[in-house]
Amino acid sequence: MKDIFVCPEESNFYSNCLENFVIRNSKNHASVVEFGSGDGSPVINSLLRNKFDGVIRGFELNASAWKVANSTIDEYDLGNKYVIYNSCLFESSKPEADYLVANPPYLPAPDQDIYMPLLFGGIDGATVTNKLLSLGYENVLVLVSSYSNPESTIQQAQENGYSVNNFVVLPLKFGYYSSEPKVKKHIEELRKHGMAYYSGDYYFLAGVLFKKSQKSAIDLSNELAQVMTSL
């Protein structure tokens, strides 16, 4: 199990965001694609707490996590609502869906030789997140970290025609993965260049719902940028 992502506080936050911004907010039969399902617990917990008649298709590269997710899906008989592929979304023929959702890999580091290489988010931590905002999905729910060049994500979203429809922010303590000395040192460097924001042991993790803009739509991009750079 040691090679499966474990951070209950973060996974629960992601699960709550899914519930509030997608599952309860959408038509009951919405289609959802998930990047990086991990052990599947965030989606499974949301499905167990809510009525949802849509289908969620997850992509998870880590075979151990994928196996655990599938056995929990079987245990709760959720196979008709949550299907996970042991492959990479970027390399698949991307399924059409109303929503793309992810708690993506967002660790910044000089290279991917870190405790868990699949959590590597590129040099500034925002590479995978920003790529997810280039796939053309109408609605994208992603977790955005204040130490992973959050302004680049907001800018990338705007350039691709998204506005920030809603967001919620959780102060989180640096955990096992982000406290790895190589990662922490790199984050300290990024901070000097205005690409990472944190205060003491704490950073902000935001659950953000990006929506392809329509005229007169709500846009909370400035508010999100202000909060994420306030530490």
Ligand X SMILES: C[S@@+](CC[C@H](N)C(=O)[O-])C[C@H]1O[C@@H](n2cnc3c(N)ncnc32)[C@H](O)[C@@H]1O
- Should residue 121 be labelled a site residue for ligand X when binding is judged by CB under 6 A? no
Strands 202-212 and 139-145, by their bridges, are antiparallel
Position among 17, 18, 42, 224 found at the interface with ligand X (CB under 6 A):
42
- Should residue 66 be labelled a site residue for ligand X when binding is judged by CB under 6 A? no
Partnered with residue 163 across adjacent β-strands are: 211
Position among 61, 135, 225, 227 found at the interface with ligand X (CB under 6 A):
61
Smallest distance from ligand X to CB 9, Å: 10
Position among 17, 23, 47, 89 found at the interface with ligand X (CB under 6 A):
89
Smallest distance from ligand X to CB 114, Å: 12
Tokens of 114: 């870190």
Sheet holding 139-145, edge to edge: 82-85, 55-59, 31-35, 99-102, 139-145, 202-212, 162-173
- Should residue 204 be labelled a site residue for ligand X when binding is judged by CB under 6 A? no
Smallest distance from ligand X to CB 172, Å: 12
Span from 24-32, 53-61, 144-152, 222-230 in contact with ligand X (CB under 6 A):
53-61
Number of residues near ligand X (by CB under 6 A): 19
- Should residue 59 be labelled a site residue for ligand X when binding is judged by CB under 6 A? yes
**Residue 16's closest CA among 160, 116, 141?**
141
* Binding footprint of ligand X on the chain (CB under 6 A): 5, 11, 14, 35-38, 42, 59-62, 65, 88-89, 103, 105, 118-119
